[in-house]
Structure 1
Amino acid sequence: MENVRFDTKIAVLLRDDLPTWQRLNVTAFLVSGLGTTQPEVIGEPYEDADAAIYLPMFRQPVLVFEGSKELLRGAHSKALARELRTSIFISDMFTTGNDRDNRATVRAVGADSLDLVGIAVYGPRNVVDKIFKGARMHP
């Protein structure tokens, strides 16, 4: 089989001081919007040998990184400046229990003051690499 190399990258950057359960939760939330806004990232449905059908998933890997609060803030600024499609998760969202309240917590704060705990970006591979420069792969 031929190795597939993608022109694009899906990447998540998490703040390095989050407990494991928050890292997993934030990652799931951050990537959940990509398939609805960027349909090209979604592959075909899966089917097993018994013909059971499963939901389609991303067609390419999702790379997960970690970094400091400052690195996260810088990556966020760079992503906005480059007009990449970006999802965010802020610390106040841990205190809400629904999408409406999550959106209200984000709406209440300016971009430069967001207490970011994670971002996800999708875009050209080289651009995403520049935005996440200095981040390390999540262990």
Structure 2
Amino acid sequence: MERFDTKIAVILRDDLLAWQRLNVTAFLVSGLGTVVPEVIGEPYEDGDGTVYLPMFRQPVLVFAGSKELVRAAHGRALGRNLPVAVFTSDLFATGNDTDNRAAVKAVTTEQLDLVGVAVYGPKNAVDKVMKGATMHP
């Protein structure tokens, strides 16, 4: 198995419904490849020559934690200047990217009602960001 010097990790609030956890995870990791293109591998191709989209070249680790732990992870990630994606509770009520961005912009960093955070960076830095979180069940 290939070892990576970097890590992609998502932390989700442990009080989310199953559909919310899946949706938030998908949204959080969706922007990573546009900002950090080296995390994306080559396109896939099956035996018949049908080509499929490329995906992350490394695993995405998903963690769970309390609201306070998600907030702490967010602060640690920002403090380490790592690429960070956020999903707030307000985004469950919006229906498009413009409204999503407006909902985040409407509040200060400290006022964000975070339900999930994604982070990418050196393994040891990401491990410190996720300190106290448990692997998602």
Which band: TM-score by shorter chain?
over 0.9
Provide, for residues 10-29 of structure 1, a one-character-per-residue CA deviation record: whole Å limited to 9, x for no partner: 00000000000000000000
Q: CA shift at 1:136, angstroms?
A: 0.2
SS in 1 for 2:95: coil
Q: CA shift at 1:70, angstroms?
A: 0.3
Letter of the 1:26 partner, please give it: V
Moved over 3 A (4+): none
Mapping of 1:4-83 within 5 angstroms? 4-83=2-81
> Any gaps of 5 or more consecutive residues in structure 2?
none
Distance 1:112 1:77 in 2: 9
Provide, for residues 26-64 of structure 1, a one-character-per-residue CA deviation record: whole Å limited to 9, x for no partner: 000000000111000000000000000000000000000
Q: CA shift at 1:113, angstroms?
A: 1.1
Provide, for residues 54-111 of structure 1, a one-character-per-residue CA deviation record: whole Å limited to 9, x for no partner: 0000000000000000000000011111110000000000000000000000001111
Q: CA shift at 1:138, angstroms?
A: 0.3
Among all aligned residue pairs of Structure 1 and Structure 2, give the percentage whose two residues are the same amino acid: 72
- Count of residues in correspondence between the two structures: 137
SS in 1 for 2:87: strand
What's the TM-score, normalizing by structure 2?
0.99
Tell me how large the CA RMSD over aligned residues is: 0.4
Q: CA shift at 1:127, angstroms?
A: 0.3
Distance 1:46 1:65 in 2: 27
Distance 1:94 1:105 in 2: 10
